[in-house]
Amino acid sequence: MQTAISPKQNSTKAWLKDNGGMIGLLIFLAAFPFIVALFEGQPFTEVLANETGNAKFLQGLLIEVFILAIYAISYDLILGITGLLSFGHAMFFAAGAYFTGIAFKNYELGIGATLVGIVVLGIVQAILFGIVLPRVKGITFALVTLGMASMFHIIIQASELAEWTGADVGLQGVTTPDLINTSTERFRLYLITLMVTFLVYLVYRRFVDSPTGRVCVAIRENEDRALMLGYNTFHFKLAALILSSITAALAGFFHTVHQPIVSPNVAGLGWTVAALLIILMGGVGTLSGAMVGAAVFRLLEFFLDKQFGENANFLLGVIYVLLVLFLPFGIVGTWRAKRFRTQS
C-alpha cells in the first residue's frame, strides 16, 4: 500500500534516485576546474580568465575525454545496441574533423553553417554505409566498411588534395572562431563539450528507450525474428547509422576545434579500434559504459605515457588482457550484472 507518498512526489523521488548520480557528476565536472584551482591555490578569477596552470591543462585533458566519449557512444549505438560490427567508424569522425577544419580554414564559415554541414555530412555517410547494408552481413559488413574507411584514409592523404587536406601531414593551423577558441576560451569550450556530452548521452538513452530503439535491440538479438514480426530492419539500422554518424561527426567537429590540427591518423583503423576498445572496456551496449571507458582509456593512456614513456603500450596491452579476463562484460556491464545478481 502506498498512500503516504503522492504519485508526483514518488516519481520525483524515483527520478532523483535514478539520475541523482548523473546530476551530481555533472555538477562536479562543471565545478572541477575550480576545485583544482582551490588545491593549487590559484584564484578563481584566473580560471575564468583562462590563465595557464594545472586547471587549464586538466580542462584540456577532460575535453579530450568528452570528445572520445561522444565518439565512443556513437559507436556503441551501432555495435552495442543495433549489433552492426563496423570497422569504418573512424571515417565518420575523420570526415567531421576534416570538414570542420576545411570549413574554418579555406572557406571561413561560421559555427552554425559548419554544424549544419556536419549534420548533412553525417547523413550522407550513413547513407553510403546504408547502400551496402542490405547486401553484406556480419563480419563481411565489417570488412566492407573497413574497405570504405581505408579508401577515405588513403584519399585524404593523396598529394592531389594537399590544398585542402594537407596530404599526409594533415590539416595544420586551423583558425577556430574566437567564441570557442581552445586557448583563449578554454573554460567556455570545456562547459560546452561537457554539456554536449551529457546531451548526447540523454538523447541516446531516449533513443534506446523509444520504440525505434527497442526494435534496434531486437535486431541485435535476432534479426530474423524482427523481420518476421513485420519490421523492415533496414530502416531501423539506417536510422541508428544516421544518428551514430552525425554524433561521430560532431565529435570530429570538437576534435578540430580543440586540437586545432587534424592528423590523417584519425581516419585510420587505429581510431576505430580505439572506439572498439573503449566500449569493450566500458561494456558493450550500456551507453554509460562508453563514457566510463573513454575516461579510463584517455586517462590511462595519459598516465602511463607520463610515467613509463616508451613502455606505455606494453602496459596498456597487459591491462587490456587483464580487463578482458577479469571484467567479463566491461566495467559498467560487469558492475550491472553484479548488482542485478545481488538484487535478485
Partner 1 sequence: MTGTLKKNRTQLITLAALAFLLVTAAQGLETKDWVITVLRGLSVGMVTFLVASGLSLIFGLMDVLNLAHGEMFMLGAYVGWTVFVRPDTFVDILAPLLLLFVGFILTPLWRALLARVRFSGRAAQLWPWMAAIIAFIILGLTLVSFPITKWDPEVYAESPITFSLALDQGNLALPEPKPFEAAPIIAILGTLAGSSLLASAFAGFGQRKQTGRMSQHIPRGPVITAVILLILALAAFWGNDALTEWLINIGTTGRFFLAMGVATVAGFVIGGVMETTMIRPLYDRPMYQLMITLGISFIIIEVVRAIWGRPEFTMPKAALFSGRGDACPAESIGDLIANQCSTVILFDGRIRTYNEIFIILVGLIVLIAVGLLLRRTRIGMIIRAGVQDSEMVEALGINVRQVFTFVFALGVALASLGGVLAAPSIGLSSVMGGQFLLLALIALAIGGLTSFPGAAAGAILVGLIQQFIIKYGQIGINIPFLDEPFKPSPPLVPASVVLLMVIILLVLPNGLFGRSE
Instruction: List contacts with partner 1 (CB under 8 A).
Output: 132, 135-137, 139-140, 143-144, 146-148, 150-151, 154-155, 157-159, 269, 273, 276-277, 280, 284, 310-311, 313-314, 316-321, 323-325, 328-329
Strand, helix or coil for residue 336: helix
- Residue 271 vs 329, nearer CB to partner 1: 329
- Residue 32 vs 320, nearer CB to partner 1: 320
| Shortest reach from residue 330's CB to partner 1, in Å | 9
Strand, helix or coil for residue 165: helix
| Shortest reach from residue 87's CB to partner 1, in Å | 9
- Residue 150 vs 263, nearer CB to partner 1: 150
For residue 331 the three cell numbers come to: 566495467
49-64 exposure pattern, b = at least 16 Cβ within 10 A, e = fewer: ebeebebbebbbebbb
- Residue 55 vs 295, nearer CB to partner 1: 295
- Residue 262 vs 279, nearer CB to partner 1: 279
Contact between 65 and 251 under an 8 Å Cβ cutoff? The reply is: no
Residue 202 burial (CB count, 10 A):
12
Q: What are phi and psi of 116, to 5 degrees?
A: -60, -45
- Residue 34 vs 320, nearer CB to partner 1: 320
- Residue 14 vs 155, nearer CB to partner 1: 155
Q: What is the spatial distance between Cα 38 and Cα 226, in angstroms, rounded to a whole number?
A: 55
| Shortest reach from residue 51's CB to partner 1, in Å | 38
| Shortest reach from residue 335's CB to partner 1, in Å | 16
Contact between 116 and 96 under an 8 Å Cβ cutoff? The reply is: no
Size of the chain, expressed as the number of residues it contains: 344
Those residues with Cβ within 8 angstroms of residue 289's Cβ, 6 or more apart along the chain or in another chain:
76, 80, 279, 281, 282, 283, 330, 331, 332, 333
Residue type, 160: E
Q: What is the spatial distance between Cα 171 and Cα 151, in angstroms, rounded to a whole number?
A: 18
- Residue 117 vs 170, nearer CB to partner 1: 170
Tell me which residue has cell 550484472: 337
Contact between 68 and 282 under an 8 Å Cβ cutoff? The reply is: no
Rg for the chain (alpha carbons), in Å?
A: 21
| Shortest reach from residue 282's CB to partner 1, in Å | 12
| Shortest reach from residue 311's CB to partner 1, in Å | 7
| Shortest reach from residue 284's CB to partner 1, in Å | 6
Q: What is the spatial distance between Cα 33 and Cα 145, in angstroms, rounded to a whole number?
A: 40
- Residue 49 vs 318, nearer CB to partner 1: 318
| Shortest reach from residue 202's CB to partner 1, in Å | 26
| Shortest reach from residue 325's CB to partner 1, in Å | 7
DSSP string, 38-51: HHHT--HHHHHTT-
